[in-house]
């Protein structure tokens, strides 16, 4: 075998060995990232339970808007709502103003409010549902949101359904709370809709993280696009006196 042939064989072996080493290192890195992500989710669940146990009551003035562009042109509806929450999960909503399409107001916005009022877990649904036993997670980076350092994780449900989602979450590094969620339902909730995407943002009010804004965009199969926006406004929050010293906190708004 000539000199060149021997060199080529050694080069091939070296390249193969380097490739295997690179793959092993990448695999170890990915495993470490996934392990770190699972640990972050576990801490988020723990901290959320602690915060939820201290949440006594809150109130805020919300604005619901829906805009549909499609069959029949543009349809809009707007509703202002005073929301009250009292532990351990009692909600009450009062509609203070409504304008626009009565059909969309009654069939969409009012039904949305009624469904949340009936659900004692709606407020913390997104925060509490993301856990390592229900979702696979990967730590993809770090990012600052409104001056708060956050971990960025991609999450995917282990058992996809229309009640969970595939997306990305931002977790505050200092107090381990979800600051933002962007995603779409893991399974389409209705044959009438091609795809639904949502963007949920949270705001810090004292030790709590409460909803600040939600935008949901649905692409309708028969044609058109519907955009639902909820601005949650400023909060007044009371902590439970038996858990911590009673305190009233007023948020700055989003």
What pLDDT digit, counting tens, does each position of 49-58 carry?
A: 899 899 999 9
* Whole-number pLDDT of residue 161: 83
Alpha carbon separation from 84 to 18, 136, 138 (Å, rounded): 61, 34, 36
Kindly tell me the burial class for residue 74, based on how many C-beta atoms sit within 10 Å of its own C-beta (0-12, 13-18, 19 or more): exposed
161 Cβ contact partners less than 8 Å away, ≥ 6 residues apart? 186, 187
User: Tens digits of per-residue pLDDT, 106-157?
Assistant: 888 998 888 887 765 544 455 446 787 889 999 999 999 999 999 999 999 9
* Whole-number pLDDT of residue 20: 41
* Whole-number pLDDT of residue 15: 52
User: Tens digits of per-residue pLDDT, 42-91?
Assistant: 999 999 989 989 999 999 999 999 999 987 889 999 999 999 999 888 89
* Whole-number pLDDT of residue 253: 62
């Amino acid at each position: 075998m000539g000199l060149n042939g021997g060199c080529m064989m050694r080069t091939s072996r070296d390249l193969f060995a380097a490739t295997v080493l690179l793959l092993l290192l990448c695999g170890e890195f990915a495993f470490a990232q996934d392990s770190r992500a699972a640990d972050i989710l576990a801490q988020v669940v723990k901290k959320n339970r602690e915060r939820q146990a201290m949440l006594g009551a809150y109130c805020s003035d919300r604005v619901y808007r829906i805009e549909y562009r499609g069959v029949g042109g543009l349809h809009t509806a707007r509703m202002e709502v005073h929301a009250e929450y009292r532990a351990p999960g009692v909600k009450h909503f009062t509609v203070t103003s409504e304008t626009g399409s009565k059909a969309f107001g009654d069939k969409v916005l009012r039904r949305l409010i009624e469904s949340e009022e009936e659900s004692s877990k709606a407020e913390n649904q997104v925060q509490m549902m993301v856990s390592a036993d229900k979702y696979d997670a990967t730590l993809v980076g770090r990012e600052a949101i409104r001056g708060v350092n956050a971990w960025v994780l991609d999450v995917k449900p282990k058992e996809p359904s229309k009640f969970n989602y595939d997306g990305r979450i931002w977790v505050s590094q200092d107090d381990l709370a979800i600051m933002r969620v962007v995603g779409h339902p893991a399974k389409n909730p209705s044959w009438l809709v091609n795809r639904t995407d949502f963007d949920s943002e949270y705001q810090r009010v004292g030790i709590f993280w409460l909803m600040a804004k939600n935008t949901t965009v649905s692409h309708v199969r028969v044609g058109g696009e519907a955009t639902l926006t909820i601005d949650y406004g400023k909060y007044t929050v009371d902590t439970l006196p038996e858990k911590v010293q009673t305190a009233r906190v007023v948020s700055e708004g989003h």
